[in-house]
Chain A
Amino acid sequence: MLQFLLKRLALVIPAFFGVTLLTFALIHLIPGDPVLLMAGERGIAPERHEELRREMGLDRPMVIQYLHYIGGVFQGDLGKSLISKKPVMEEFLTLFPATIELSLCAMIFAVTIGLPAGILAAVRRGTVFDHSVMAVSLTGYSMPIFWWGLLLILLFSVQLGWTPVSGRISALYWVDTVTGFMLIDSLLSDEAGAFTSAVRHLILPSIVLGTIPLAVIARMTRSATLEVLREDYIRTARAKGLSPMRVIGLHALRNALIPVITVIGLQVGVLLAGAILTETIFAWPGVGKWLVESIGRRDYPAVQGGILLVATVVILVNLVVDILYGVINPRIRHTR
């Protein structure tokens, strides 16, 4: 087990440094002089220009600049936003709970529908239900989610008026930030109706963001269950006279879920990337929207830090999934 852990960790470290190289390159490869970019439209005096270059360390060799950058990263210093002048780390941390909240709800939506749908489709292989699940999931998999979001807004918010169009909570309520998670904060606040409002704001974005994971999970669950149902021990269990519920629920599911859990873990990266689009559509004040806006504003320190942090989160989640996979499935742990 220790060896397995070390091997996985050894893969993570180069991945992290690869990302830092990419984000470091980001600042240095963008066309134009970073100092002039910072100065903006008004321009800058030559003396001040030289001074700023020295201040930012741009006159030193690349290697030193990179080491300096890495040193800062390890101390949590990702520079300051050019627009708000606040530390990038601080901005990220204020916005990140909103993204986690949205991603979690999307994942819950995807799993609670995708898992049973996939199992049922496998059990009823070849039926109309099976074909519909496969058709719907292939469509979901091919869906441009930014358009899907617009369609849902058109139907549920504009036509039917059931859900709000954007944001996390109605402007009628003022909720103090305690945890950063609107569902919890609105419960903690004394305002009646705040929680309901927060839930109503979450529904559409969660469905939109959960659509692709839902499709992937349903497909994967179906094929994994089909695979397991062919095994000898399932036939044995059936021959023993166990009820179909017991055979599928106990014997089949336990083994079918192993690959499904990996797929669910791998969807975290998909979710965080999808959050960029979903948050933009629904004006959800999370990391994804902030990242896109920062690119638009040419706020490069924010872009640089944001990409590094999101990538780090994805790498860490993938590591945890990998380790969990080894814990659940001894075959993985012992091979290699």
Chain B
Amino acid sequence: MTRSRVLGLAALVALVVMPWVLARHQLSLLTDLLIFGLFAMSLDLIMGYTGMVSFGHAAYFGLGAYASALVLLDFAQPVPVALLAGALLAGVVALPVGWFSTRATGIYFAMLTLAFAQLLYTVAYKWRDVTGGSDGIAGVPKTALFWGGPGLASPQAFYFLVAACVVLSLVLSLAVVGSPFGRALQAIRENERRFTSLGRDPRPFKLVVFVLAAVFAGLAGALFAPFRGFASPEVMFWVFSGQGLMMVIIGGIGTLVGPILGAMVFILIQEVLSSYTEHWMIFTGAVFVLIVIFLPGGLVGTARRLGARG
């Protein structure tokens, strides 16, 4: 067994025993961390493996949150239906956005995705009848696992649902990046011109992975809405997209597991700082500037480098 398999197995065991180890509020914090971890991981699919830096990824998280909130509140369907709806809506909206955005590369791509995300944010903010405007949608219930099935209201039950979704998404994503399709993505990242000159068109590949990342982000958003009990325009705001990028960089770009850890570290830093000062954004910004300058590989990248050396 390789070292990464051992670590993966240990992490899985740790996830399973957590509800019996942690106190109630710690478990709910961990659930939160896992949801944001899934969001950061989905961003890493396009950013780390295809070299496309999206500055509007929060939009898909938000779309997932809104779809999930509406399905749960207005139609009282089981949570998995809401998760499907969230992932689906995010994917469907990502299709035209991706079609436009993948025409451009590099910094143009980043700016286009930001512009579209701000557009979606404005829609969520203005379309009061559906989204509740700036108030958002509150009182989203944690319904059942299936029709007539067990409820998900207890923290443990919802934690397991979230953990299962995250593990499943991670396994799926690892399979994707290891597949021939994933190899093609990495080839595009390394040298898009070469890829084109070998007779392949990179755009369909980029579009598919863009939509796939949006689907995972939508899933994270769809988990977020019932967990926190609300969906609001803030989760679609550019700040959140930028924070997603931070999580990826902190954890280690192009590692999938790294961004999940990065999200956890990021949220914990924020929690700690915000308990000391209400102006935590200054310090978050400063921590981030330092990480960008001094730890370009992030946590996982740096650990691997140290491991390879030792």
A and B together in one complex: no
The chain B residues found within 8 Å of chain A, CB to CB, are none
